Chain A
Amino acid sequence: MLRLLGARLAAVIPTLLFATFTIFGLQHIGPADPATLVLGENATEERIAEVREQLGLNDPLLVQYGKWVGRVATGDLGDSIIRREEVSSIIGRALPTTAQLVLAGVTISVVVGIPLGILAATRANRPTDVAVTSGSAVGVSVPNFWLALVLITAVAINWRLVPARGFATLGDGLGEAFRHTILPAFVVSTSGIAIVTRQVRGAMIEALNAPSVRTHRAKGLSWRTIVWKHALRNSAVTIVTVVGLLVNTTLGATVVVESVFAIPGMGTRVIGAASARDFPVIQGVVLTYVLIVLAINLIIDIAYRIIDPRIS
């Protein structure tokens, strides 16, 4: 197990190097000079030169990259250019918010998607299945920002059931957190529900058609036991993979949805930073996203082997 973990971690390193280089390169693509951004429009040439020196912008690109990686490795993500706040403290505040939203979204996807998938699989090609399958097609295709606006108008503005904007984390109390999370979490979960439903349906149909199921029936096991114990366990690898991927897609969905709900998470931060060309913040947030995705993939890899010893 430890050797496996070591091998997997080693495999992550090239990906990480590639990702960090791309992230670092971001600021050299745009036309705006970070020094001018820091100083504002009336800066003198001397002052710009001075700040360029301070920011290390005169070094060769690879040297700058090396220094940056060195600092990042020690947890120093630099300061926001625009707001003079440490990037790590910005992320420290935004990350719990986004994490709560992602977890809630994934939970909804799983809790709704698995039963729907099983339902469809056990009634394959019957009207219930057709309804579930077409419903999931809608779930995948509906644009998040549109759904968010519709739900805000209906649920928050017209019926006043939940707040229309903002966020509360668990630290603000369970009730407040729930009221603020439920609507955006549902929006980010829609495509997840659809994906889980479809994958579970497919895996379950396959599992239910396996010869072992006939044996179980012959042994006299109840249909319920066969479905929930044996077939579901055989679909577990698919489900774990899907849930892992789900964290990634849900994380992606939060970028837009956080903006629509004005939730102060990482997505809002990265959008704000992008329009202000606040590179240290963009780099820090994107790097955090990359690390999350890599970590999730690692966890899935290892989870496979625990669930299904046949995979080596």
Chain B
Amino acid sequence: MHRHGRKQPDPRRRFRRLLALLAVFTVVAAACGSSGDSSEVGADDNGAATGATGGDGQAPAGPSADLPAVAEGAAQPGGTYGGTLRIAHWFPPLSLDPHTGSSGADHQVLYSLYDRLVHFQYETLEFTPGLATSWEFPDPQTLVLNLREGVVFHDGTPFNAEAVAFNVDRVQNHPNTKVPADLESVESVEVIDDLTVQLNLSKPDSGLVGVLSDRAGMMVSPTAAAAAPDQQLDATPVGTGPFKMVEYAAGERLLLEKNQDYWQEGLPYADGIEWIFTGDEQAGLNGLRAGDIDIALTVRDGSQIQALSSDPSVNVITSPSLNTDGCYINDERPPWDDVRVRKAFSMAIDRKTLADVLTFGQAEEAYLPVPPQHWSSSPDMIGVNGYDLEQAKALLAESGHEGMTFTMMSYQNPLQIRKAELLQEAVAQAGFNMELEVLELAASVPAMFTDFQYDMFCAPWTGRPDPHQTVANMLGSTGYYSLREGDRAGVDALIAAAVSTDDLDQRAAAYADLWDVAIGQEALWIPLWHNSSVTVTSDKVGGYQLNLLGKGQPQFAWIEE
């Protein structure tokens, strides 16, 4: 894992090349939808990607090599048209409205109904054109979006600058919006012409582009939104996406049919998608093996994966993801305000061993909140505050808190409890006396982050498309998941610096500085391991692509029959 010091393509240069290619590709795709060109983009990018992940000269251990390298929504050649994809999702969506819903597990369903202004490259989460064909910051506080021509919503409403303005307003001001914070920096919206819209910002925020690839960038039909009960599209989604709704039984099943007017020529492949919400992961896998499910999304139980991998009738698709386990520390509470205690805790944890035991080899040790594949990652951080039991004991002794007792909170979930118990044993070696309290999931997050009842909470962070959303939430003094009352060691300024430019080279450098201070020197958040995301499909399914965000996008897969 020692990636630095070896020759490897500069990821930022790679991004430049990619953007250039994408610009060309978008034009070509829009003009004729030629699959030949898209495969060329894929090939070139794939080569570059392998170089980056295999930086230690070894073949990259599995997952990353499996990642398809085409841009989101690019037609993969050779797909089969027709048929209905039957997709099992263990978590029923709470709402089909992107702005008034908030569950992280809803995205996978939303992607098939809504396009976003900005899409991303599956492998690295670098941003690519979506409903916006291009964007620019004429100055750091102005973002101009050029919109795609000729796109219509499922209900016939045209997609244009007015629609974008409506959606921005909806995200900010709908009485039940769940994501107003995402567009906090947007002060006003100007419709320049039918296909150009300008966002005026209250402060520099280049992270906004990434935000527009998430919920806040999902465009809903203004007509449908105004007409819906409570103006919420919970059960009546209308977007511009590749599929439109036919029938919905909330919590059970959602039937979609192909959007014949979809703007990406040649897509989607399937005539329809039947979403089946099982409420239970095992039921989806059973259905898959019995032949009445085509895709089982997001398999979390690592113990299943080996058996499934040896079954020739299914494909197990594994990819690295942003989902990263780590520990949130209440560092306002002594003795956790002492950085030596935080570092000692971090160094007491043998990440590799614990991750292997817990996830059956499905996770990689982590030293940052973002995985090494991500553009904002910094190779210099690998191993920082990593496992070193002697050093951990020494630091704790130096701080004068050997044998200190503290309470970690965990939530009711077999894997989470097992993890907490393993951590308990691990840190005991270094002289921490850790007590464990288990709460229900719904009570756990408020107990930690609203009421500040515990010293520590170790849980997976599911990740956000732009790292700014992650660091502002987790490390910034005003972030919900940060436990600091004020700024520490200038972290707030470093966070702001990383969004003061839209130049990716400069942003990556700014994140390297931020990681060094917040994670390395201050140990404000203790990274544990990066989880993979796993999806299982039948061998009849093609073109299914997992991505680094960890939320699979099944809408462009196909089925052979």
> Interface digits, B437-458 against A, CB 8 Å rule (1 contact, 0 not)?
0011111011101100000000
Does A201 sit within 8 A of B, measured CB to CB? no
Q: What's the interface size class on B, roughly?
A: 35 or more
Q: Judging by beta carbons under 8 Å apart, are A163 and B292 in contact?
A: yes
Q: Which residue of A lies closest to B102 (CB)?
A: A40
Q: Please give, as numbers and ranges, the residues of chain A lying within 8 Å of B443 by CB-CB distance.
A: 30-32
Q: Which residue of B lies closest to A264 (CB)?
A: B252
Of the stretches B145-153, B279-287, B377-385, the one at the interface is B279-287
**Residue with the greatest number of chain A CB neighbours at <10 A, chosen from B92, B232, B279:** B279
Q: Please give, as numbers and ranges, the residues of chain A lying within 8 Å of B360 by CB-CB distance.
A: none
Q: Please give, as numbers and ranges, the residues of chain B lying within 8 Å of A32 by CB-CB distance.
A: 440, 442-443, 446
Does B516 sit within 8 A of A, measured CB to CB? no
Q: Please give, as numbers and ranges, the residues of chain B lying within 8 Å of A82 by CB-CB distance.
A: 94
From known contacts A42-B480, A164-B289, A277-B440, infer whether A260 and B235 are also in contact, taking CB-CB under 8 Å: no
Q: Judging by beta carbons under 8 Å apart, are A85 and B235 in contact?
A: yes
Q: What's the interface size class on A, roughly?
A: 35 or more
Q: Judging by beta carbons under 8 Å apart, are B290 and A40 in contact?
A: no
A264 to chain B, nearest CB (A): 4
Q: Judging by beta carbons under 8 Å apart, are B449 and A37 in contact?
A: no
CA distance A165 to B291 in the complex (A): 11
Q: Which residue of B lies closest to A81 (CB)?
A: B94
Q: Please give, as numbers and ranges, the residues of chain B lying within 8 Å of A90 by CB-CB distance.
A: 250-251
Does A198 sit within 8 A of B, measured CB to CB? no
Q: Please give, as numbers and ranges, the residues of chain A lying within 8 Å of B450 by CB-CB distance.
A: 36, 41
Does B227 sit within 8 A of A, measured CB to CB? no
A253 to chain B, nearest CB (A): 17
From known contacts A32-B443, A276-B442, infer whether A42 and B181 are also in contact, taking CB-CB under 8 Å: yes
CA distance A153 to B181 in the complex (A): 47
Which residue in B92, B95, B293 is a CB contact (below 8 Å) of A84? B95
Q: Judging by beta carbons under 8 Å apart, are B283 and A83 in contact?
A: no
Does A170 sit within 8 A of B, measured CB to CB? no
A168 to chain B, nearest CB (A): 12
Q: Judging by beta carbons under 8 Å apart, are B234 and A163 in contact?
A: no
CA distance A175 to B449 in the complex (A): 53
From known contacts A164-B286, A165-B292, A275-B441, infer whether A83 and B280 are also in contact, taking CB-CB under 8 Å: no
From known contacts A40-B178, A259-B279, A276-B442, infer whether A83 and B94 are also in contact, taking CB-CB under 8 Å: yes
CA distance A156 to B289 in the complex (A): 9
Which residue in A31, A93, A165, A272 is a CB contact (below 8 Å) of B447? A31
CA distance A32 to B450 in the complex (A): 12
Which residue in B234, B293, B442 is a CB contact (below 8 Å) of A83? B234
Q: Judging by beta carbons under 8 Å apart, are A41 and B480 in contact?
A: yes
From known contacts A36-B446, A37-B442, infer whether A156 and B290 are also in contact, taking CB-CB under 8 Å: yes
Q: Judging by beta carbons under 8 Å apart, are A272 and B279 in contact?
A: yes
CA distance A268 to B251 in the complex (A): 10
Q: Judging by beta carbons under 8 Å apart, are B287 and A165 in contact?
A: yes
CA distance A160 to B289 in the complex (A): 9
Q: Which residue of B lies closest to A263 (CB)?
A: B283
Q: Which residue of B lies closest to A34 (CB)?
A: B442
Q: Judging by beta carbons under 8 Å apart, are B181 and A31 in contact?
A: no
Does B32 sit within 8 A of A, measured CB to CB? no
| Chain B positions 248-267 with a Cβ under 8 Å from a chain A Cβ | 249-253
Q: Which residue of B lies closest to A274 (CB)?
A: B440
> Interface digits, B270-302 against A, CB 8 Å rule (1 contact, 0 not)?
000000101110111011011111000000000
Q: Judging by beta carbons under 8 Å apart, are B292 and A166 in contact?
A: yes
B150 to chain A, nearest CB (A): 34
CA distance A153 to B445 in the complex (A): 37
CA distance A163 to B439 in the complex (A): 37
From known contacts A83-B95, A272-B251, infer whether A262 and B442 are also in contact, taking CB-CB under 8 Å: no
CA distance A277 to B439 in the complex (A): 13
Q: Judging by beta carbons under 8 Å apart, are B290 and A157 in contact?
A: yes
| Chain A positions 14-36 with a Cβ under 8 Å from a chain B Cβ | 30-33, 36
Jot down 11 A-B pairs with beta carbons below 8 A, ordered by A: A42-B181, A83-B94, A85-B235, A164-B283, A164-B286, A165-B276, A165-B283, A260-B280, A261-B283, A262-B276, A264-B252
Chain A interface (Cβ < 8 Å from any Cβ of B): 30-33, 36-37, 40-42, 82-85, 90, 93, 152-153, 156-157, 160, 163-166, 259-262, 264, 268-269, 271-272, 275-277
Q: Which 5 A-B pairs have the closest CB atoms?
A: A262-B283, A164-B290, A262-B278, A164-B286, A264-B252
